[in-house]
Structure 1
Amino acid sequence: MALNPYDLYDVRSLLTEEERAVQDTVARFTDERVLPIIGECFEQGRFPTELIPEIASLGLLGSSLPEQYGCAGLNAVSYGLICQELERGDSGIRSFVSVQSSLCMYPIYAYGTEEQRQRWLPGMARGEIIGCFGLTEPHGGSDPANMKTHARRDGGDWVLNGAKMWITNGNLADIAIVWAQTDDGIQGFVVEKGMPGFAAQEIKHKMSLRASVTSALYFDNVRVPEANRLPNVKGLKGPLGCLTQARYGITWGPIGSAIACLDEALRYSKERILFGRPVAATQAAQLKLADMARRITAAQLISLQLGRLKDAGRMQPTQVSLAKWNNVRMAIDIARESRDLLGGAGITVEHCAIRHALNLESVITYEGTETVHQLVVGRELTGINAF
């Protein structure tokens, strides 16, 4: 029997029946609803908000959180498969779900009160309340400890001042999970759209993640009630804990991008005739295609084992860093090679390779740059912090 070119080691056979059902459901959604429109959305610089109700109805928002909050209660591997199939469509779609689930719903669940969970999580699971995550600042990037945004106590409220940058979902969001310096360390606040002094400005002229909303957030004496402070965490471990959740999903997402690019390159190279034979009949093309399959296989096995560790409660941040580093680098290299195999056709949005290649330029940067994750692994190996 011929092997599946996108799953040479039959990783799917290692999934449970429920995990396979989740993957199949999201794959159908991507095939039927995302792929027909996403090239045009990318070209227009538009996030397809019309898909939000369907994404929510499939249980993809906060999918790993308990059912008591209107969520699906799925395991970590299922969440990873959701990310993989969504990013097979586009990184922007997966980013929307990642931010809503891992960066907004998760901190409310993990660091908030039961009242806060009941207030926001069910509506977020239904897609009625959209969130964004405010950590990165204009000058900060990879150094979140150098945070300038601050909040001071004023009676029963907090007064928030500062700015955040490169915020996915910013202009879509009804609430923002904002991290700020206080006299008692870094704390998280739920800032609501319409609070006086809070403004979001969409970032235009992007060449990457064009089918995604990216914004800057500004806080000018924004008065936030104590009821909107996340009380159960202080310090950088709060936002970094959220990033670990999001990075886990990102280790899976680029596998989808890479599979989409390999699929396109395979089909095109079999159809394209040069010098009297298909491009796929040349050694140069087969070497490239074989290398793509090798790297995808390695990434699949890494993410599956990472998911099993997460479900067992044994996942460590360094393991996430290694997987994010390996898998995003794998995907961006495959996207570029696929674009090359397509020749001139590869530069148009009628094909997916250039879109994925451009998107992955953001994915390899956000949630920790490749260099940061390399240094995290280096620190683990040596015991020496080289940051």
Structure 2
Amino acid sequence: MTDAGALSPSAPPNAASAGPADAEPRLERSGAREWRVSGDWTLLALRGRYEAFRQRIAGAMAEAPDTLWDLRGVSRLDTAGALTLWQGWGQKPPARLLWQPEHVTLFAQFMHTGAPPRPKPGLRPGLARASLSLLAFARHGVDVVALLGRLLLDVGHVLRRPSLIGWREISANVFRTGAQALPITALVGFLVGLTLSYLISKQLKTYGADIFVVNILGLAVLRELGPLLGAIIVAGRSGSAMTAQIGVMRVTQELDALSVMGISHTVRLVLPKVVALAISLPLVALWTSALMLLGGMAAAGAQLKLDPTQFLHLLPSVVEPVNLWLGWTKSVLFGGLIALLACHFGLRVKPNTESLGQSVTQSVVTAITLVIVVDAVFAVLFSNVGI
């Protein structure tokens, strides 16, 4: 027997125009614990009656949760009709349900999104970020070692065939990284030497040890500050330019063109830059050290009334030549390291401008950091040499 309420009271006045009577959505009770759903449960047929059907279905579920719902009489069902039934059921399928096979797909979309997935157990956010950073650092380390290995293999190949050496490229990089860097390194070196000598002189003057300003300034500049300051300036100036140059070649697909023509990236791009910077950086470091000593000599003359001739005469006698050679050796290593890192980050650029900017920043920061780390290692290993 059917309920007096096959639901239709709240239908709009023009419901008759929606279609024939058998197309009307119907919700009928059949027995004490069974509801039959029939007719068209579509957006057009349900217009204006969504809430009424939802309340009726929810009331039936609250009255008897184990009621059987028979959907086999539904002629048409779309997402709007399925959602109306789903919300009336309390956003979960009833315990007893009969439906047609084609209804499964419509209700499946609500079943998957009904409850949010439980978060998987994992590391805390801080540890997760730290582990990702460590993993990225390890990948960069492996890639740099691989690039260095390819570079060494290509060096052996080039030595057997000297015609492959890009002398013009090496010369151009020496000019860009060396000669063009002289003005900025001269200015920075002179000012740093001036400031350092002024501070040292102030302290030594207190104890009457004015003459030792030559010892401290000469040893610090030739052994540590000159090579380190020159490397930092070159890393920010020339290292970023190398990364940007190779990155632009990636964006404009010039690197792909070199690969198609069978030209090695390391022979054509990496090797000339590494060789050029290993040659030019020791000269830049020597130039920077000379300007730092000049600034220190000027400050010592103004603060301690130390004659420049006396300063230059004492310098070779208080600073052993091994300190100069140690500074040059570090400069060669710094130059090769900066160029290698610049090329590494340049070759990793993706073909978009955002990646180019990120790679240039990473190149400069990584190069400066590793230069300082390597300098600290040298300071520990050779702490008893020349002192």
**TM-score, normalised via structure 1 length:** 0.27
Decide which structure has greater helix share.
2
Query: Higher relative CO (CA 8 A, sep ≥ 6), structure 1 or 2?
Result: 1
Decide which structure has greater strand share.
1
**TM-score, normalised via structure 2 length:** 0.27
- Structure with the greater alpha carbon radius of gyration: 2
